Structure 1
């Protein structure tokens, strides 16, 4: 198996990398540790040293996840040489890491069970209530406790691996005790209870427990196998087998359709860790190979059928149907957590197989999705990265006291303290140069230092210089998939032959101090289109995705989708505006604005074949698109460098004036329909988007209640049950108010009763003429219900006490 270098063995020299890393470290040093520990101490029954926890997600049932991310990010930073950096209070980062571990150990001693947790509690007398309810399939007011637990365990394990010896040892002790609590609970699960638990997002519990097993075993912990057994309880082999079958020729399509992407990707991060873990087990070769095939199959499906040019995936956190990408371009694409976890999976697949395709994907996604997720000016990171043209990125708040602490804020903390972890790899005799970033790597076993000077993306020139004494080994330089022609290699000024058809350029020799390799990778612009729209194109120059800069304007406002997630509230392209009002589960399906389409004078395919003739390269990696009729000049620059302005990655191209006129009509129709939107509800995702007794939209259930599917974003009333929400309406008498319900075509013929109080709104039997997976039916609300009201509770049930049809996100109100 190929190995990775320690974080401390790679020193970054690139200014962009060092600057955003320092900003991340500075942000970590701004945290009040007592606020991070507040709910942990509350759960343990200990007195608190802060007035309350942080706000946003940290003051909810998912609270505590940020502390786990913090541990990982801080441990990585300390391992990378930033441990002595201090905040305004003079406390260093390594001291902060130690203080958190001591605080968690104190909480653990107080509970006496090994349990530590940092979410808000519904009942202080039952600190484990969220976990109990999950096992009973009672998902109300639980959110995702095992997801949060994953972040905590992972943070403890990474601290045990990366921190200085005393802190590492203490962290491992806390992790082992918490691991035993997890083992004891998972050991008691019946098959039914396990199914209940695994039906809800649990992060990569399998991954962190396999990692704990390896670390504890290496440290001599007698019961380390407990953690391996607990990890396997979270391996979903039914899902793994379904994905493997779907990846084969003739396999079932759309195996990932409607699955929550960041629920699903981490499961395979855990699966690949089982694969690595089994490498060291005798008699496990067959199972190890099986798990490797699971992960390769999943990676293939995601990268080939669900991935945008940046390497990111998903729309509003979910996978869609295979190869449906243009139709899902919105303001809520490419969740950063997905990217973070896809890269963890990809990194390990490369280390296990040595296949270049994994390194190619890693580079593309690292540059165009991870580096693109950070605001270079502030160091703050994104939740989503819009693929809809005319949008802009939104970032978490730089003020730690106003931050919402999204999941992607946590992974953002981690991403930028480990930027050097996948630049270089090695095996017994070979150094693999996988990424081209100015940096330095120390290979201790060979007693050498390799210095890399990279001019990417300005040019394809790379220089590698060997330092230290004489040593025999091979340097393998990746030939990237974006290279245009045959690369030029020189060793100490002498040309070396290469072809563009090889994966790596191998140079084996006895290296001496001062030996130098120079590389020149030819670069060009290439056009990439989307599988569901042959006229929709995006562009790359060498390794970087290009985006057209569309500037700033006074309408760059925000709205929230899901749980306190800031997204851009509109898209504007050359003066045409479309409000983006969709809520959770209802943000895709946008019609293009006329100004997103460029008219060319030759067939579009020919235009793209000769795309380098149509881009005029200017200073500072600025490219002007020529010979395409638009409403002004389009200037493209590297997407990852674009902050605080609108942009367009994907553009529509046509050689037909008639198509331009049609798109203008469609865009106007879309703008007219979205303008009448009032508000929508993210059905099916639980309290996060459906609310509870204290949060909007205040979902309530009666009788036997209802059943939700957080992947499909559906909810239906059980026989004898109902569910209801508070919908926003308008009190104006001169407006007709409508309830717009989304249903599934597969439920055709099923019935649903919709009421408000005793007033019947609809007695509806589902009927759909089209072939689409979902359809929308609008019901006019009686004026007697809406007059003078701003909110209205609407209830859904089956007819005559039977089970109802499924309601699908989004369900919204509108007016005419």
Structure 2
């Protein structure tokens, strides 16, 4: 990582006063800017997100990706996802069950049946919030009504799609042997109901959610603290987060108490002491726990929860991440000294991990709105989330491996309902949720994405840009009357100098990467800000291995585009993408780059498309074309090069 990108522990935790904490700024509110809540957080927000509907995406890669996501969501059949929920409630199913982890016959012991419905409910709720398209609200309303019917028929409030029915949770709660991750699966349904309530305003969604949560309160009450913590050794998603959310939505302290019980002390305690014990742990099991720590902090002001979440972020982002912002190998954290042994795996960068890291980043930004959080958000958004979607079909990746000459594999539409398929339903629905933030008298511009944000009635700011193909952006005010406001424009970490012009005149020349350029003035209708953000081609070394490098241009990872050699024409690459490393196993000789990074950069020549370059190579090719990784699909690629 670049020097300016790294957050020192001292800077990140400035003002905390060590593990005990001191001056803390704000909570980690998630989606609740959308609707009013019953309770007021103990810790006030430093900055707030805009409602999804207050930001409109304009033409560009993110709008295109969202449209693909819309089409996929509308292609799915709610009744197929509801199949086993109805069976377990004693009701007749209305359609056959889907495949993948939803298939009882094939995946009876994984115990993820039903997770897809939760993700789908969240995805449709987010799409409705972002677009206002009534089709997505209708989907949400239908699923909520069906789940309520299941609750009434089942009489306990519990909702599951496990093949054993609701009896599986009895085994979980009594310490008997079981397989899979039941609490993880239930969490997805809890979260879907929360999002349906928040983004669509459906009152029945809250009714179903409260009944569902009341079951959890009653069912877990007999467990001692020791028994509860033993139960948390298995993956349980973000149960602490969603219970804290429900406390804020209802004011019922029982849910906050349960949220605290769902905090896994074996993870919380070392993080609160700023000790990294992540080696060997399943990565995406831990991130939702940390999101929950942050969420409970906002309700209680317990400083160790904030310290733990901020330290976790700093540790993962600055010491454990690949150039694309993701991390891990075969879903697990590995020792930071072992990067060279893991970098060329086909099973690196599980997409779910960045889904959750972006949630955590967004929450932490609201606590302490520093440019470093926005820098990481941009890096992971382009190089992992946007890159995870098939531009032809809208399907998504599970892993995004670094094996030289490998290629992205995508899920199938109805038989690959893995975890990353589920988070993929949400990823492409919320691109407009972190472009802008608002503080007291201030508007933060974090991302350079074509969009329109509504500050107040009759006051909008339109951002037009072709970034990253254009090294800058333009913002124009439309307002019926003058408005005094401070605009805070991010000077990103990858840009040495940045220049802002207002109505054609230079207003700011910044030489402080990873900072905000502040422009306080009275803005009038038609005022225009133009921002120049020069980009450079750079080599980024792998942590601890200077001879293994990736290439970036500005924030964009450039991968070697190796074409489709050895791939049969018309080959279906929408397959079981969890088989990364099991398919395309035939030997493939990728080109070789020689020399030191600085010498290679001097030999780079622009290609015929924006953001693309040629580098001299040896071995299987005499040159290599570097192209934006997020654009490469159905072709072999190289992200990291071991320099000869």
Which residue does the alignment assign to 1:632?
622
How many angstroms apart in 2 are the aligned matches of 1:55 and 1:628?
44
The 5-angstrom pairing of residues 83-482 of structure 1 reads 83-84=133-134, 92-121=135-164, 127-140=165-178, 142-163=179-200, 165=201, 168-217=202-251, 224-247=252-275, 255-278=277-300, 284=301, 287=302, 289-328=303-342, 329-398=344-413, 400=414, 403-444=415-456, 447-469=458-480, 470-482=482-494
- CA deviations on 1:498-520 (whole Å, 9 max, x unpaired) are 22216101011111110000011
Within 2, Cα distance between the matches of 1:346 and 1:332?
24
Rate the CA distance shift 1:199–1:596 in 2: closer, same or farther, 3 A: farther
Whole-angstrom distance in 2 between the partners of 1:98 and 1:155: 12
Give the secondary-structure state (helix, strand or coil) at the position aligned to 1:392.
Answer: coil
Corresponding residue to 1:14 among 59, 62, 70: 59
Measure the CA separation in 1 of the matches of 2:387 and 2:573: 21
Partner SS for 1:472? strand
Q: Distance in 2 between matches of 1:624 and 1:442?
A: 38
With CA pairs under 8 Å and 6+ residues apart, which has the higher RCO, 1 or 2? 2
Counterpart Cα distance in 1 of 2:313 and 2:593: 34
What's the counterpart of residue 126 of structure 2? 76
- How many Å apart are 1:564 and its aligned residue? 7.8
Gaps of 5+ in 1: 85-91, 122-126, 218-223, 248-252, 279-283, 579-592, 655-816
Q: Which residue of 2 aligns with 1:58?
A: 102
Aligned partner of 1:44 in structure 2 is 89
Question: Could you tell me whether the CA contact under 8 Å between 1:460 and 1:522 is conserved in 2?
Answer: yes
Tell whether the 8 Å contact from 1:310 to 1:545 is kept in structure 2 after alignment. yes
Alpha-carbon distance between aligned partners in 2 of 1:323 and 1:152, rounded to the nearest angstrom: 38
Q: Secondary structure at the match of 1:417?
A: coil
Q: Deviations over 1:649-695 (max 9, x none)?
A: 101113xxxxxxxxxxxxxxxxxxxxxxxxxxxxxxxxxxxxxxxxx
2:14 corresponds to: none
* CA–CA distance in structure 1, aligned partners of residues 526 and 271 of structure 2: 50
Choose which of 567, 587, 593 in structure 2 pairs with 1:577: 587
Aligned-partner Cα distance in 2 for 1:533–1:495:
42
- Report SS of the residue matched to 1:498: strand
1:62–1:119: 8 Å Cα contact kept in structure 2?
yes
Distance 1:554 1:598, change over 3 A: closer
* Residues in 1 aligned to 2:120 and 2:520: alpha-carbon distance in whole angstroms: 42
State whether structure 2 residue 627 is matched by structure 1 residue 615.
no
C-alpha separation in 2, matches of 1:497 and 1:18: 30
Which structure 2 residue ranges, 5 or more long, are not aligned?
1-45, 105-110
- Partners of 2:272 and 2:304 within 8 A in 1: no
Verify: 1:27 aligned to 2:64, yes or no: no
Work out whether 1:526 is the aligned partner of 2:538.
yes
Secondary structure of 1:635's aligned partner:
strand
- CA 1:78/1:558 → structure 2, altered by over 3 Å: closer, same or farther? closer
Q: For the Cα contact (< 8 Å) 2:499–2:510, is it kept in 1?
A: no
So what's the TM-score if we normalise by structure 2?
Answer: 0.87
Q: How many residues align?
A: 587
CA distance in 1, matches of 2:462, 2:494: 23
What is the rounded CA distance, in whole Å, between the counterparts of 2:256 and 2:351 in structure 1?
A: 29
Richer in strand (by share): 1
Q: Kindly indicate whether the alpha-carbon contact (under 8 Å) linking 1:20 and 1:376 is maintained by their aligned counterparts in 2.
A: yes
Once the two structures are superposed, residues 492-537 of structure 1 have per-residue CA deviations (whole angstroms, 9 ceiling, x without a partner) of 1111132221610101111111000001111101111112422100
Structure 1 or 2, whichever has the larger Rg, is: 1
Change over 3 Å in CA distance of 1:465–1:622 after alignment to 2: closer
State the Cα distance separating 1:567 from its structure 2 match.
2.0
Cα distance in 1 between the residues matched to 2:567 and 2:549: 27
1:566 aligned to 2:579? Answer: yes
User: What SS does structure 1 have at the residue aligned with 2:511?
Assistant: coil
User: RMSD between aligned alpha carbons?
Assistant: 2.1
**Match of 1:259, SS?**
coil
Matches of 2:192 and 2:114 in 1, distance apart?
Answer: 11
